């Protein structure tokens, strides 16, 4: 039987520099991360079911609309991908396969650790909450293998944890962006023409997704369904970095979103559209140093100011470790749900307190995952060991449940 390897201390990644860490982006990520965690706390019970009489309207809003924060992550993902892969439009990486492999390893190591925690949490609470819909069923080998290679939704397997669909989609989006940029660079002619062609190709892919693919619910396991939000983020990055044509980029983003909403109004696309426009304006950089550029950077200056530091610093810290919190919050919430709903099954106040405790513990667990796993330099060896540990632990859970029946 394969066991997860112990958490060791391999070399850390180099500290994020200014190009990698942006206080304004971290602020938005932190707010979106908090919204997702509270959405899951409200959507999944049983604590929220018991606490619901205390704030029924708030619970309804969190349950119904909190999920929309994922669109913010999709747009930010596109923005950061463009800033990393092709800040001037032309792909600046070497081999596409190497770039995709690095992304897979970076995503999968903390993802596998979090899924190990999810398997253990589900097994622990199943005797008390086994009949509750929030508790994943006993895993199957096919389900474990599909999760290990990020194909669980494609194969129609039930998720082992909330939100793991996003990890698979993020990888698809990044890989497709890398392949698109590499293809344009190879066949796009001179560097200047290839840079223009890359931006045009991304805009066309974005339009196809917004106007066609995103209107087909059956495609929601594929990157094409989400390319609209991701592509808007990429266009926002290039618009924010354009020294002379920022207004044209804003018009283009505005037209893409306006046509999409005219064809079929979708609240998720509306939020992605507004987020992309906001990024293009608020993170505007202007090489000429014009007044317009200075005004456009207003939110970025606020996010970096000393006056706002006391309020925004915790949010920015949450934004830095948002991926880890996103991954690990579900198993934490499962355990806290079981504890509070069993200890005080009739007390709305105690279960509301339990929801607050679950959020705080999720942030703490996410911080630990970020410091001990996500921020370390991951390798294929480490990734494969954790993937094997995930499958091995899942097999052990299956075996134990059959023995104890």
Residue 178 in domain: yes
**Between 299 and 375, where is the model more confident?**
375
Residue 152 in domain: yes
pLDDT at 293 over 70: no
Handedness of CA 146, 320, 279, 87 (dihedral sign): negative
pLDDT at 337 over 60: yes
Residue 296 in domain: no
- Residue 14, by phi and psi: left (phi above 0), alpha (psi -120 to 50) or beta? beta
pTM above 0.95, yes or no: no
pLDDT at 20 over 60: no
Lowest mean pLDDT, pick from 1-15, 75-89, 261-275, 300-314? 1-15
Whole-number Å distance between alpha carbons of 49 and 41: 10
Whole-number Å distance between alpha carbons of 132 and 63: 17
Residue 392 in domain: yes
Residue-range definition of the domain harbouring residue 152: 23-286+313-404
Residue 305 in domain: no
Question: How many structural domains are present in the chain?
Answer: 1
**Token pair of 43, please?**
């959507």
pLDDT at 85: 95
CB half-sphere exposure, 61, CA atoms < 13 A: 5
| Three-class secondary structure assignment of 260-318 | HHHHCCCHHHHHHHHHHHHHHHHCCCCCCCCHHHHHHCHHHHHHHCHHHHHHHHHHHHH
pLDDT band of 189, cuts 50, 70, 90? confident
pLDDT band of 244, cuts 50, 70, 90? confident
Average pLDDT over residues 239-260: 92
With pLDDT > 70 as the criterion, what percentage of the chain qualifies? Answer: 87
pLDDT at 96: 93
Lowest mean pLDDT, pick from 13-22, 65-74, 162-171, 359-368? 13-22
Residue 16 in domain: no
Average pLDDT over residues 154-178: 95
Residue 355 in domain: yes
pLDDT band of 128, cuts 50, 70, 90? confident
Handedness of CA 159, 214, 274, 244 (dihedral sign): positive
pLDDT at 19: 41
Residue 10 in domain: no
Cα dist from 218 to 56, 129, 222, 225, whole Å: 32, 31, 9, 9
């Amino acid at each position: 039987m394969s066991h997860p390897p112990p958490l060791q201390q391999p070399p850390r990644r180099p500290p994020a520099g200014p190009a990698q860490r942006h206080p304004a982006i971290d602020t938005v990520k932190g707010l979106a991360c908090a919204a997702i965690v509270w959405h899951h706390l409200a959507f999944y019970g049983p604590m929220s079911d018991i606490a619901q009489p205390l704030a029924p309207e708030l619970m309804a809003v969190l349950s119904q609309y909190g999920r929309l924060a994922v669109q913010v992550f999709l747009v930010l993902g596109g923005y950061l991908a463009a800033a990393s892969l092709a800040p001037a439009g032309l792909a600046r990486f070497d081999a596409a396969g190497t770039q995709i492999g690095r992304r897979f390893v970076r995503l999968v190591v903390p993802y596998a650790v979090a899924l190990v925690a999810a398997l253990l949490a589900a097994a622990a609470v199943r005797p008390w909450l086994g009949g509750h819909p929030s508790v994943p069923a006993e895993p199957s080998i096919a389900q474990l293998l599909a999760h290990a290679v990020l194909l669980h939704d494609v194969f129609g397997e039930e998720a082992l944890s909330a939100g793991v669909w996003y990890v698979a989609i993020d990888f698809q989006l990044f890989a497709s962006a890398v392949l698109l940029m590499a293809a344009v660079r190879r066949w796009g002619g001179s560097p200047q023409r290839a840079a223009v062609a890359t931006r045009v190709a991304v805009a066309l892919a974005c339009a196809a997704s917004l106007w066609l693919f995103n209107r087909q619910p059956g495609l929601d396991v594929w990157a094409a369904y989400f390319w609209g939000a991701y592509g808007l983020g990429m266009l926002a990055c290039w618009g924010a970095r354009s020294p002379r044509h920022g207004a044209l980029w804003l018009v283009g983003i505005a037209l893409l979103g306006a046509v999409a909403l005219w064809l079929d109004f979708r609240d998720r696309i509306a939020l992605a559209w507004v987020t992309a426009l906001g990024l293009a304006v608020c993170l505007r950089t202007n090489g000429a140093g014009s007044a317009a550029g200075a005004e456009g950077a207003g939110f970025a200056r606020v996010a970096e100011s000393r006056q706002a530091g006391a309020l925004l610093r915790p949010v920015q810290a949450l934004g830095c470790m948002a991926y880890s919190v996103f991954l690990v919050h579900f198993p934490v919430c499962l355990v806290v749900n079981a504890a509070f709903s069993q200890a005080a099954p009739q007390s709305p106040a105690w279960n509301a307190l339990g929801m607050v405790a679950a959020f705080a513990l999720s942030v703490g667990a996410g911080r630990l995952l970020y410091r001990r796993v996500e921020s370390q330099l991951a390798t294929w060896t480490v990734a494969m060991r954790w993937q094997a540990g995930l499958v091995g632990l899942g097999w052990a859970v299956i075996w134990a449940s059959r023995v104890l029946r």
